Amino acid sequence: MDQQQEHETPTASWWSNIISFFRAQASSKNAAHPDNHSTLKDTLVSRILPEDYEALYANLGYRFQNNALLRQALTHRSFMNESGHPDIEDNERMEFFGDSVLGFVICNFLYQHFPQYDEGDLSRIKSHVVSEPFLAVIARELELGTYLLLGKGEAASGGHEKNSLLSDCYEAVVASIYLDGGIEPAREFLLRCFQEKIVTLVEKQHILDHKSLFQERAQEIFRCTPRYKLREIIGPDHDKTFEVDVFIKHEIFSVGTGKNRKEAEQSAAKAALAKLNIRTGKVK
């Protein structure tokens, strides 16, 4: 029995200490102000309670062996500073670590699944999917903001919805999963979050700049820079359609349309890329 208690102490001590700390604060506050019915839940400035972890486990698709790691991943510096409790650690070190785990797993996935793209293309895709706005979207899907422990000031300023805090928290959660279970659970978690999104973005070519990519390919294959020329503008003033030709040397290679010239040029470049077999560099 004593061995079991010793094993459980590192997992339970952080939360037990923080509950005791804020319960004492709440009791003192209520004693000074009898009409104040502030609850421990309100004092924590967060909706996270021990029973809430079940919902979070379901969102993450992972059950922690050591809850202290998850609690630290959800603890913002403002909460640590306001609590003043020596056992409370913020998530900044985990954020640093999680960023590297995230980058490794995403790079490995891109390398294995998109052999037709070179280093420049893969870098553009990676930069997009590990960006702060992209990570914040995933964090919202997991409802991490609900569980993020913030100081009162940060919470009052809408910290639970800030992109920067959500993306940092997501990276910290990645680190906490790695530290709790190793690289395989972390990899599985990340691929559940990213794989479908990355494949959709690449297939629809929403990430890559078609003109830049086609220019790189044209210089490699044809030893020249593509030239774009407006062919015509069709339709009334309120609903114009621009048609653009893209030339390789002196011949039209592809045509694109759009609601403005820039969009039409991107469309023409996209059509040119579709005409090329990028894997071998041969024209279909």
121 is in an annotated binding site: no
Give the Cα separation of 243 and 133 in Å (integer).
33
171 is in an annotated binding site: yes
R_g (Cα) of the chain, nearest Å: 26
Indicate which residues carry an active-site annotation: 99, 171
Going along 172-281, which residue ranges are E strands?
227-234, 241-248, 251-258, 276-277
Sheet (strand 241-248) strand order: 227-234, 241-248, 251-258
End-to-end CA, the chain: 72
Instruction: Tell the residue number behind the tokens 């774009």, with chain if given.
Output: 228
125: tokens are 């895709």
Question: Are 106 and 126 in contact, with CB atoms under 8 Å apart?
Answer: yes
Give the Cα separation of 177 and 170 in Å (integer).
11
180 is in an annotated binding site: no
Give the Cα separation of 284 and 276 in Å (integer).
6
Instruction: Tell the residue number behind the tokens 């790695």, with chain if given.
Output: 178
Let me know how long the chain is: 284
Q: Report which DSSP code applies to 71.
A: H
Give the Cα separation of 113 and 109 in Å (integer).
6
3-state secondary structure of 233: strand
Q: Name the binding residues for Mg(2+).
A: 95, 168, 171
Binding residues: 95, 168, 171
